Structure 1
Amino acid sequence: MTHALFTATFVDYLIIAIYFIFVIGIGFLLKNQANTGEDFFLSGRSIPAWITGLAFLSANLGALEVLGMAASGAEYGMLTGHFYWLGAIPAMLFLGIYMMPFYYVSKVRSVPEYLKVRYNEATRAVNAISFAFMTVLMSGISLYSMGLIFQVLMGWSLTTSVIISAAVVLLYVGMGGLTSSIYNEVIQFFLIWTGLLLVPILGLKELGGWQGMMNRLPQSFGHLWANLGSASHNSMGIEWVGIILGLGFVLSFGYWTTDFLVVQRTLAARNLRAAQNTPIYAAYFKMFVPLLVIVPGLIAAAIYPAIGKTGGPSYNLALPLLIERYYPPGLMGLGLTAMLASFMSGMAGNVTAFTTVWTYDIYQAYINKNATDKHYVAMGRWSVVVGVLISIATAYMAADFPSVMDYMQTLFSFFNAPLFATFLLGMFWKKATPWGGFWGLITGIVGAFLLYALIPASYYASPQAGNFWRAWWAWVITVIVTIGVSLFTKPKKLEELAGVVYGLTKRPNYASMSWYKRPGYLAFVAAVILIAINAWLW
């Protein structure tokens, strides 16, 4: 047993218990609707756009956003907002407008399967294995975060907390598959907002509003762009070039357009237009999430000056400390349940993505190619168990990082940055060859690991600066090698690239529809709002 930060009452425990029973119940009710592979892994491609849009956002609204972004806000200030207004929205709009037609029309069941169609089996294998590895590592982040909450709430050991949290996710994902995960994610989205919105409201009230909070913080904490002229002028230790290239381009597009965790939600949509609108709808909600997660980090930094310093509380405790400060018994249970909901949605998203890639892109592709559909569903359920068990082990790796945000972005720089280069060239350059894609992806991943191993962390002003530059150079290595190898190897025939390469794929035409139903118009309005936010917080 460890010392509990909170003094929770019976009502708090009851709220958390009711939530756990509810999410497990959804999995049980949907169990009989997940009997085929299409149902279990892709929800039968039948979900409306507004539901897949909320699930798309909620699957990402996990440990990274709630615990990690609050920690990053306390560490770096409003510069963390770049992870949204530069590092998410543009890529989400790009996914909806340009990339979903490739994914959806080709009827691929996963991102690695797209790489098989565009390049070859070897490229698929590299991505499937690396994605499966990365996904369980990321799942460990959510599991560690859930364990941390139980630890500070009840005083349990981290091990006990992790095992109980893992068991709940195992039950509802194992029974209901992706459909259970999606509907739970929609419920969790509303629960997260309901449970956490009071934190920034009460915090700003205590500090005397936005300006009162800024008076207690470093000057750079209140701006997005004004202090990026020099790395020495901001807490993140990076200049605007690194932010744009590393985060705004490579890490952002690498995650939002190629990571199967989020792409899987779009593939569950009922038709192509719904699939395109899924990330665009999510972008509108995404713009306002910083109010829920980054602002509390700034409030924590203003109220607890020792946070993140030697002898002080960890940055990861920024949001839990504020919940303890502002929420009375009962309301505290709601706030903590909202945090647990976010972590469970993040972990469940990773687990469902892992099971699909493992079953279709590794097990079916290389171990058992001719089994029945029923067998693959059973394998998917068993892989949920395996994924959760591996996540338990990787949860302790996340504990070694001062911020879960730093850990997450480190993983993205290893795997997503090279993958984005492979996708970009594959979708928009007809002459990218199968072996060009394979060797480019391999060298990009290896190059990222070498950069991490050979360049000491002290070389960069902050962990995030290192992640941004490592991602950029891994992308550059992948592009150079892919182009170089493609110039000396045989490309695929044009008829083989129909439906998977820009210029050889029929674009959807929505001219007969009202403007508010057309992905292009919706994306344009979102872009205008995005520019206004950046100008306001310059």
Structure 2
Amino acid sequence: MQALQTLDWIVIGIFALLLIGIIVYVVKQKQQSSDDYFLGGRDAGWIAIGASIFASNIGSEHLIGLAGAGASSGMAMAHWEIQGWMILILGWVFVPFYSRSMVYTMPEFLERRYNPQSRTILSVISLISYVLTKVAVTVYAGGLVFQQVFGIDELWGIDFFWIAAIGLVLITALYTIFGGMKSVLYTSVLQTPILLLGSLIIVVLGLKELGGWNEMIKIAGAVPVNDYGDTMVNLIRSNKDQDFPWLGALIGSSIIGFWYWCTDQYIVQRVLSGRNVKEARRGTIFGAYLKLLPVFLFLIPGMIAFAIHQKHVGAGGEGFLPYLENGVANADAAFPTLVAKLLPAGVKGLVVCGILAALMSSLASLFNSSAMLFTIDFYKRIKPETPEKKLVRIGQIATLVVVILGILWIPIMRSVGDVLYTYLQDVQSVLAPGIAAAFLLGVTWKRTSALGGMWGLISGLIIGLTRLGAKVYYSTSIDAGESLFKYLFYDLNWLFFCGWMFLVCIMVVIGVSLITEAPSAEKIKGLVFGTSSKEELAEERHSWNKWDVIHSCIILFITGMFYWYFW
């Protein structure tokens, strides 16, 4: 790897100074209440909301995972990225309900709609999943990226992976602890354009090195991915495909997408910080536009790196990508390798800033969301009389605890790094169905009872944990015999399993709701379709105009064209 040059360090220094300036500005603004600290005083405009949604979403799973997926399996993982149009459902359908209920967290919304037990269940699921998956994976991959980009193995006798990973966590934790939600929103406005510009430069220089878009399509289109005639450029693959059958991919990515974009605290918190429904909805439209880009900025570079590698090998060279110990090209190194080998001085520094921005913004959002879940859903419920200033302090301590837990989890994760990375999507595919079912029926069906919603969440948790347990057991057990249990919880394709699990959770919610007491009209007023007052409906109608509709239609049209092109 080529080392960073003086100009690169100057660019990184300027970025750091800008970041420090923004953080100092935010910290100087007194944050007296939990509303100020966790939701930026509910005063964010649409640009800050949209940029924050995008910057929070783009993390190491994109820089390493998505580019790596592009280099190894082609367009298959694009389903998850292009499902970003579901942010529009958040803006058009859910934002009015969330805003009217004036909640801080998603578990708090479930308490309003169902009961306190539902709130506790969702809080526990969210907190555990954040620490074990999102925090740990972002930090782990961050360490790997910087080891690749900087080309340093050891510093002061310590493995550079640890210096990079822990340094990243501590810097991000400091500005999240002191600045709260405003620091997350304001830094996102700086970080998003840098990340987009850096990635765009990589795509342009990568295609120039390769010989153009058509050359990439030609090389990737000649590589079969299964025995049914599909190649790396096919988004819709045979239903017999072992990993990404088209029906499973559409159903699975839709359920995971709905859960993530419409009900996950991590994303919805950006929208709750909006100064009104109009700004929040426009923020989701802007976020949906930005979300159309990752396929081209992160997945396509992976395919470019793969095509350049194939070209080098075909010409008798040693290849473009580094090799693993087993002699296979390391797909996960696609993005950092493009940065290290193709970018000129100065530009490389800019892209390193973009990578830093992506990792820091997703970590900052995680820390803020985790602290908010703990403070509002646990601490404030136990001690409801706690003064606002103390709640802010509790939130800062909770952030610190999440940081420490994330760091402690890294060694375990590093020892099973590859395995855990493959399990990351698995975890999300079994986390999403129960939560999605409870939220979907909660806002669309008046008859959904408190116990119906609660048992939908519980059944999702039980089925999900059973599936994950079976994955661990059967992947390590040598002489496990065939059985119906093994087929359902281990052999069945993870995407089809996600679909069936969603259906079971929906049936549980409906079944339990029909045999238990219906919620009173007063309890669900303003929280379910068809229960809003005339004033609320009129206010909602005034919160959008024809341009909001036109932009939403443009996003859906682009999504449709993308499926048509890569069919």
Structure-1-length-normalised TM-score: 0.91
Q: Which of 229, 237, 247 is the equivalent residue of 2:238?
A: 229
Give the letter for the 1:192 counterpart: L
| Cα deviation, residue 388, structure 1 | 1.3
Question: Aligned with 1:402: secondary structure?
Answer: helix
> Once the two structures are superposed, what CA deviation does each residue of 1:282-316 show, in whole Å capped at 9, x if it has no partner?
11121122111011110122233577863345432
Counterpart CA distance in 1 for 2:24 and 2:419 is: 35
| Cα deviation, residue 513, structure 1 | 6.4
CA 199–396 in structure 1, closer or farther in 2 if over 3 Å, else same: farther
Give the letter for the 1:223 counterpart: N
Q: Which of 94, 118, 125 is the equivalent residue of 1:123?
A: 118
List runs of 5+ in structure 1 lacking aligned partners: none
| Cα deviation, residue 57, structure 1 | 1.1
- Residue of structure 2 in register with 1:198 after alignment: 201
Q: Is 103-112 or 426-435 further displaced after alignment?
A: 426-435
Q: Which of 69, 75, 78 is the equivalent residue of 2:75?
A: 78
- Residue of structure 1 in register with 2:353 after alignment: 337
- Equivalence map 1:314-325=2 (5 Å): 314-325=330-341
Q: Is 2:147 the partner of 1:151?
A: yes
- Residue of structure 2 in register with 1:302 after alignment: 307
- Equivalence map 1:350-369=2 (5 Å): 350-366=366-382, 368-369=383-384
- Residue of structure 2 in register with 1:528 after alignment: 557
CA 466–176 in structure 1, closer or farther in 2 if over 3 Å, else same: farther
CA 352–512 in structure 1, closer or farther in 2 if over 3 Å, else same: closer
- Residue of structure 1 in register with 2:281 after alignment: 276
- Residue of structure 1 in register with 2:46 after alignment: 49
- Equivalence map 1:114-513=2 (5 Å): 114-137=109-132, 138-152=134-148, 153=150, 154-156=152-154, 157=159, 158-217=161-220, 218-219=223-224, 220-225=231-236, 228-232=237-241, 237-247=243-253, 249-304=254-309, 310-312=326-328, 314-366=330-382, 368-396=383-411, 398-399=413-414, 400-402=416-418, 406-455=422-471, 456=474, 466-505=493-532, 506-507=536-537, 508-510=539-541
Question: Aligned with 2:80: secondary structure?
Answer: helix
Counterpart CA distance in 1 for 2:406 and 2:497 is: 25
Counterpart CA distance in 1 for 2:433 and 2:389 is: 36
- Residue of structure 2 in register with 1:15 after alignment: 11
How many residues align? The count is 521
Give the letter for the 2:217 counterpart: M
Counterpart CA distance in 2 for 1:44 and 1:514 is: 26
Native 8 Å contact 2:239 2:247 kept in 1: no
Counterpart CA distance in 2 for 1:356 and 1:488 is: 35
Native 8 Å contact 1:445 1:474 kept in 2: no
| Cα deviation, residue 146, structure 1 | 1.7
Structure-2-length-normalised TM-score: 0.86
| Cα deviation, residue 374, structure 1 | 0.5
Question: Aligned with 2:92: secondary structure?
Answer: helix
Counterpart CA distance in 1 for 2:511 and 2:192 is: 45
Please identify the structure whose Cα radius of gyration is greater.
2
| Cα deviation, residue 464, structure 1 | 13
| Cα deviation, residue 334, structure 1 | 1.7
CA 189–261 in structure 1, closer or farther in 2 if over 3 Å, else same: same
Give the letter for the 1:473 counterpart: W
List runs of 5+ in structure 2 lacking aligned partners: 225-230, 311-320, 477-485
| Cα deviation, residue 509, structure 1 | 4.3
Q: Is 279-288 or 346-355 further displaced after alignment?
A: 279-288
Counterpart CA distance in 2 for 1:216 and 1:465 is: 32
Counterpart CA distance in 2 for 1:395 and 1:262 is: 24
> Once the two structures are superposed, what CA deviation does each residue of 1:355-374 show, in whole Å capped at 9, x if it has no partner?
111110111113x2211000
Question: Aligned with 1:256: secondary structure?
Answer: helix
Question: Aligned with 1:224: secondary structure?
Answer: coil
Counterpart CA distance in 2 for 1:265 and 1:464 is: 38
